[in-house]
Amino acid sequence: MVLPLGDLHPTRITPIVTYLLITINVVVYLLQVESGDRITLAFACTPWEVTHNEDLDAPVARPPSIVRIQDPRDPTGRRVVEVERQPRPIPHAPTPIPFWMTLFTAMFLHGSPMHLIGNMLYLWIVGDNVEEVLGSLRYVIVYLACGLMGALAQIIANPDSMIPTLGASGAIAGIMGAYVIWFPHNQIRVLVFRFITVLPAVVVIGGWIILQIWLGAGSFGKIGESGGVAYLAHVGGALTGVCVALLFYDRAQYVKQREAQEQGWYSYPDGDYA
């Protein structure tokens, strides 16, 4: 288990937008808890609703599945029989906004405390550095764009899925993608099993992105069958963030050079510092 705890590269700014995004996500989750499932089901993004422009306002029954179990009538426990099992219906509720807007509202919803904490931890670690490079307005636009592209990637993979999707993972994956392109050598403090150490961002974040691509490729053909992690949303968001990073690469180099000069470092022509 590798758990990032924080990076060792402070910024010159107070990352107001990052703090605001974290606050909004936490407040929205508290509202989710207070309302039961009402807010979650109303504002989560369901691919089928977006692609068919139709509201699923009541639970949807899943088709029965065939499972293999041990025959309870066989005392040896060796005989296996096939039985039909009726899965639980997929919960849905009326959506009070246009379906396309759930592409954005869903990225501020979370399914559990750990889902929220994990996402906010990554945003807290990488968001300030990316916000410093982009500036507040661009940062908000990029955050939303990465979340949108992540949601669209999941929808394109299975436009008929009736399972609601939610979470800030696609947006935050995009911020992580930009971070690893701009700051590959930044040291990140991580918890590796029971030990705390530091690793470069290219290992921690780059490895995470590669893992999401591998898991996303393995999830094809299973999307929409059951709930779980939306790996393709992570991939779509991360790739969008990488594209943004390449677009603003010179701006990031300028920010790094300026910080190096202010700290008394010498800036070499190729951008390395000593």
Tell me if 13 sits within 8 A of 132, measured CB to CB: yes
Tell me if 9 sits within 8 A of 194, measured CB to CB: no
Sequence-ordered alpha helix ranges (H) in 158-230 = 169-182, 201-219
Would you tell me how many other CB atoms lie within 10 Å of the CB of residue 165?
24
Burial of 263 from C-beta contacts in 10 A (0-12 / 13-18 / 19+): exposed
> Taking the CA atoms of the chain, what radius of gyration do you get in angstroms?
22
> CA 9 → CA 120, 184, 228, distances in Å?
18, 12, 33
No. of H helices and E strands in the chain?
Answer: 10, 5
Which has the closest alpha carbon to 258: 244, 249, 271?
A: 271
Name the residues annotated as catalytic: 169, 234
Would you tell me how many other CB atoms lie within 10 Å of the CB of residue 59?
13
> CA 228 → CA 1, 92, 146, 219, distances in Å?
19, 17, 20, 10
Measure the CA–CA gap between 29 and 31, rounded to whole angstroms.
Answer: 5
Would you tell me how many other CB atoms lie within 10 Å of the CB of residue 28?
19
Measure the CA–CA gap between 87 and 164, rounded to whole angstroms.
Answer: 16
DSSP 89: P
